[in-house]
Structure 1
Amino acid sequence: MLETLRPTPDYLHEETLIAAGARLVAGVDEAGRGPLAGPVTAAAVILDATRIPEGLNDSKLLRRDRREELLRLIEGTARIGIGWASVEEIDALNIRNATFLAMCRAVEALPERPCHVLIDGNACPPDIGSPATPLIGGDGRCVSIAAASIVAKVARDRVMAELDAAFPGYGWAANAGYGTEAHRRALQHLGVTPHHRRSFAPVHQMLCD
């Protein structure tokens, strides 16, 4: 039986917007909504239509080494902005609003303001500053969003590896702060660090016990 092939992202959404007059179209995606520790990261990417790296896809479908390779290609051909929301902002605003804040910061970090923004998900940040369209599953449908997913994922993974060196025992270099069994065991034995999200239930419960 033939294996069903997963569709790959394309440039059709961008082409439609450019044909309608949007000179610069950015894709935006985030990494780190679900972890128990670390910041949430967003990236905005404006691709050069004549130099789109081959193999762009949802970062979750790519091996670590392939993400790193594609990041180098993206950095050499595209305009990039990265935005962050800290653990303190996540706890104060909630993860949804903190993610929106990181996305706005990523767009602001671009060297030029995009004419239109394509955002992975079902909603757009209200203060994104440009006309915007949400695309559910956008990182698997739109190459600009796929590129942004790779940039955000690699940037956040690097930060979590640095935090792992400073706070060993939680396995952040491997689990990126997600609530794996090993991470939860470490929480029980080592306690809560300043980089844990206190508003997230497993961490909050520990602090309240």
Structure 2
Amino acid sequence: MNKKIIIDENKLNHQYGYRITKRLFGIIMSTIALVVISPILLIIGICIKIDDPHGPVFYKQERVGKDGKLFEIFKFRSMVSNADELLEQLRFKNEINGAMFKMKNDPRVTRVGRVIRKYSLDELPQLVNVIKGDMSIVGPRPPLPSEVAKYSKYDKQRLMVTPGATGLWQVGGRNDVDFDTMVQLDLTYIKHRSIWLDLKIMLKTVLIMIKPNGAY
């Protein structure tokens, strides 16, 4: 059994230099990235429209951020337009334990969606969330309100910091690990977070986008 990790909230709140540096870095890097990859974003948007002309290009969903604050996350739409309604019909096929839903061959995913999810391209619009301050480049995955409703007090430690577009869970196995392992990875990150660790995770994220791990 994994050793329990207890986060010192007071220590987190006093990491002034780290938090300011991380915020400025996130704004600058996300802005530059959006400009540089804008042709890729356009191509993805066109492909989504061709694949499913009646649905929107972007998908917005309510997520839970730092200290339980709700925000709208932006993603490229990788599923059919009524995916949220169909979810209830598929919950019994959940392939992961704990407060998450994951299904390897999810019938709601579109043809283009399978490609952009495999290479994590559907996550690129979250750079806008980083600029807005809802998210950081690196941090725990932002959960759904329905997931947080099932959290234990221990699990809720994930909400002590700003969620990230990538993190230890994404580079450490992603959908191949269960919920408890994801929590352990996130709490390990929170306890030891630093500029150097963030940079290592970002580098691994780029490598995983080139050679995907457990994304689906």
* More relative contact order, 1 or 2 (CA 8 Å, 6+ apart): 1
Q: Which has the higher helix share?
A: 2
Q: TM-score, normalised by structure 2?
A: 0.29
| Bigger Rg, which one | 1
